Chains A and B, each alone.
Chain A
Amino acid sequence: MDKEKKKKESIFDLSKYIDKPIRVKFQGGREASGVLKGFDPLLNLVLDGTIEYMRDPDDQLKLTEDTRQLGLVVCRGTSVVLICPQDGMEAIPNPFIQQQDG
């Protein structure tokens, strides 16, 4: 009987991001950034000095300049969809819009 090893291996290693500022996106559209202070294999996170980026009430996909300070927070791993370093992303103009001269 070939018994597969049931070792739960993580495919990522967040320990290299400890004490670094990261950006996190959640299911439901929320976004936050903060310094990573801790995590577990289920991807629950501890962020310090957390800022939440608020979405435009008219267009839920657009971020506004509005932010709020949350301080030390625990982020639920079940809700996390993306993690990247704070300086690892930037907003660009929409590359898919075709400009038509009216």
Chain B
Amino acid sequence: MAATQATNPSQLLPLELVDKCIGSRIHIVMKTDKEIVGTLLGFDDFVNMVLEDVTEFEITPEGRRITKLDQILLNGNNITMLIPGGEGPEV
């Protein structure tokens, strides 16, 4: 990416922070009222994510939805926020 880096090199790059989170728990907030908590195995340039030991939360109906094991591929299209080490909503 031939971008004009006017940014300060000693600042924290967002995708570097996500990269540091590989192997630990991460809490993903979608554009909609859905949240995903899991162990981050990896991600790509589009921030599609591979997660393990995943719990899916629906915020509006007030309750946990599904606990999925194994691995999932989460489409990065709808991801709004990524919270390293997050445990998910308080429910």
Interface residues of A, Cβ cutoff 8 Å to B: 6-10, 13-15, 18, 26-28, 30, 32, 37-41, 44-46, 50, 52, 57, 68, 70-79
Contact = CB atoms under 8 A, between A and B. Distances in A.
Interface residues of B, number: 33
B31 A46 contact: no
19 contacts: A8-B1, A10-B4, A15-B6, A15-B7, A18-B8, A26-B31, A27-B31, A28-B30, A37-B11, A38-B14, A40-B15, A44-B14, A45-B14, A46-B12, A52-B29, A52-B81, A71-B85, A75-B81, A76-B47
Given A28-B31, A44-B14, A70 B81 contact: yes
B23 interface: no
Given A37-B12, A57-B60, A72-B83, 15 more contacts: A6-B2, A7-B2, A9-B4, A27-B80, A28-B32, A41-B1, A46-B13, A46-B17, A68-B90, A72-B17, A73-B81, A74-B15, A75-B14, A76-B79, A78-B77
Nearest to B82: A74
A28 to B, nearest CB: 3
User: Lowest 5 A-B CB distances belong to which pairs?
Assistant: A38-B12, A28-B31, A44-B14, A74-B82, A41-B3
Interface string B31-59: 11000000000000001000000000000
Given A38-B11, A75-B80, A79-B79, A13 B1 contact: no
Interface string B57-89: 000100000000000000011011111111001
B12 A44 contact: no
